[in-house]
Amino acid sequence: MMLVNEVRQIALSLPGTEEVTHWGKPSFRINNKIFIVIQSDMKTITVKTTKEEREMYTTTDPKTFIIPESFKNMNYMHINLETASKDEVKKLIRSAWGIVAPKKMVKIFFER
């Protein structure tokens, strides 16, 4: 189980990331583009994803990876931190950052 403080630590370690409140919840952004939101229950995060990635995760493990009704037309999904593996959460956080970060920054970051 990953804790929200670990999520925060991973997110803030990514270049250009800022923590900003979004509807009273902590969100992590780069260039004002959200890639993670910590939900009020402190056990769920919302991450930016691709349509294909979201489909794969939510089909494979629908108790851990959930598409909220309000996000069904957007490429975000909830992750239940109590049931997701730490490695998977870390991978998805980095992937979410890579989707919204400037492409040049992403290339440099992932090549190192």
Domains for the chain: give ranges and CATH numbers: 4-102 (3.90.1150.30)
In this structure, the number of other CB atoms found within 10 A of the CB of residue 19 comes to: 14
Spell out the residues 6+ positions from residue 61 whose beta carbon is closer than 8 angstroms to its own.
83
The SS3 of residue 52 is: helix
pLDDT tens for the chain, 112 residues: list them: 899 999 999 999 999 999 999 999 999 999 999 999 999 999 999 999 999 999 999 999 999 999 988 888 999 999 999 999 999 999 999 999 999 999 998 988 888 7
pTM: 0.93
**Do 45 and 39 meet the contact criterion of CB atoms below 8 Å apart?**
yes
